[in-house]
Structure 1
Amino acid sequence: MANAIAFLIVCLPSITLSYIVVCLISPWGTCTRCRPGGRNRTCRACNGSGKRPRLGWQIYVYLRRLHRDGTR
């Protein structure tokens, strides 16, 4: 059990940094509601574009706006 916990502690920062890099390089991912059939013009999640911002990008934008509004 200790080996598994140590392995997770070692791998977690690299996985997190990899996801941050992916979100910075390509902030738009495919829409999870439209993915099976491609674009769906009636999808309210992506407004029919087939692309949605990734969760990491949404968190980044939220924190950036929070900082901007708090330092005015």
Structure 2
Amino acid sequence: MASAIVLLVLCLFIVTFCYIGFCLASPWGRCARCAPGGANRTCRACSGTGMRPRIGWQLWTYFRRIHRDGTR
């Protein structure tokens, strides 16, 4: 049982680090609201560009901003 827990924790770390690397390499993804038809000029989610920052990138910038504002 303990080996299964260790394996799950290891897999969680691997998936987390892979997603972090993916977000650092490609911070922008397609807009979910515009994806079927391409860029929609009237889309409020992406302002008509068809690209939105990924959730991981949004979290990264949020925590980076908190750290920057707290250390000034």
1:14 matches 2:45: no
Q: How does 1:1-72 map to 2 (within 5 A)?
A: 2=1, 5-72=5-72
TM-score normalised according to structure 1 size:
0.89
Q: Report which stretch shifted further, 59-68 or 7-16.
A: 7-16
Q: State the Cα distance separating 1:4 from its structure 2 match.
A: 5.8
Which blocks of at least 5 consecutive residues in structure 2 are unaligned?
none
Unaligned segments of structure 1, at least 5 residues: none
2:19 aligns to what SS in structure 1?
helix
One-letter code aligned to 2:57: W
Counterpart amino acid of 2:61? V
**One-letter identity of the residue aligned with 2:50:** G
- Cα offset for 1:10? 2.2
Between Structure 1 and Structure 2, which shows a larger proportion of helix residues?
A: 1
User: How high is the sequence identity, in percent, across the aligned residues?
Assistant: 62
Following superposition, the deviation at residue 37 of structure 1 comes to 0.8
> Distance between the aligned counterparts of 2:4 and 2:36, measured in 1?
35
CA 1:4/1:40 → structure 2, altered by over 3 Å: closer, same or farther? farther
TM-score by length of 2: 0.89
Residue 41 of structure 2 aligns to which amino acid in structure 1?
R
